[in-house]
């Protein structure tokens, strides 16, 4: 379960940002998880709840925002999101597309005190 190592890296990043900003604690952590990232949101939440004790995020809420796959059509330059595994452009029907979002996990923001 790689979510545990992801959470450890996230907590380390939050600790570093809190120190840079002279914050005593983090009250909210907002992350974005792309549906193609391979990260399971439920497992990530469990890992976060387990490992945040004793850290700057001990009392921080974790908000997980899921990012749908966003594609760019190389044929007509349309950008669109998909909910299924169809990769055809919604504007022209072309299949020459590239993924522009939805493959990564990002720390979007922190609320600190």
Residue 85 has pLDDT above 80, yes or no: no
Q: Is 22 exposed, middle or buried (0-12, 13-18, 19+ CB in 10 A)?
A: exposed
Domain count for the chain, please give it.
Answer: 1
pLDDT at 50: 96
Could you report the per-residue pLDDT of 47-70, keeping only the tens digit for each? Answer: 999 999 999 999 999 999 999 999
Rounded-to-integer distance, Cα 30 and Cα 62, Å: 6
87 pLDDT band, cuts 50/70/90, is: confident
Supply the DSSP string of 60-83, one letter for each residue. Answer: -EEEEEEE-EEEEETTT--EEEES
Is the dihedral angle over the CA atoms 41, 46, 50, 56 positive or is it negative? positive
Q: Label residue 1 by pLDDT band (50, 70, 90).
A: low
Sign of CA dihedral 103, 106, 108, 110: positive
Provide the residue range defining the domain that includes 101. 3-112
- The pairing of strands 26-34 and 105-112 is antiparallel
pLDDT, tens digit, 9 for 90 and up, residues 15-43: 999 999 999 999 999 999 999 999 999 99
pLDDT of residue 103: 94
| CATH number of the domain where residue 79 is located | 3.30.2320.80
């Amino acid at each position: 379960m790689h979510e545990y190592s992801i959470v450890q890296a996230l907590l380390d990043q939050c600790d570093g940002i809190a120190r840079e900003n002279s914050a005593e604690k983090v009250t909210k952590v907002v992350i974005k998880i792309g549906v193609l990232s391979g990260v399971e949101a439920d497992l990530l939440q469990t890992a976060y709840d387990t490992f945040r004790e004793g850290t700057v995020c001990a009392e921080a809420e974790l908000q997980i925002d899921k990012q749908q796959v966003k594609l760019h059509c190389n044929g007509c330059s349309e950008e669109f999101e998909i909910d299924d595994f169809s990769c055809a452009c919604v504007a022209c029907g072309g299949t020459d597309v590239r993924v522009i979002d939805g493959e990564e996990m990002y720390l979007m923001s922190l609320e600190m005190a």
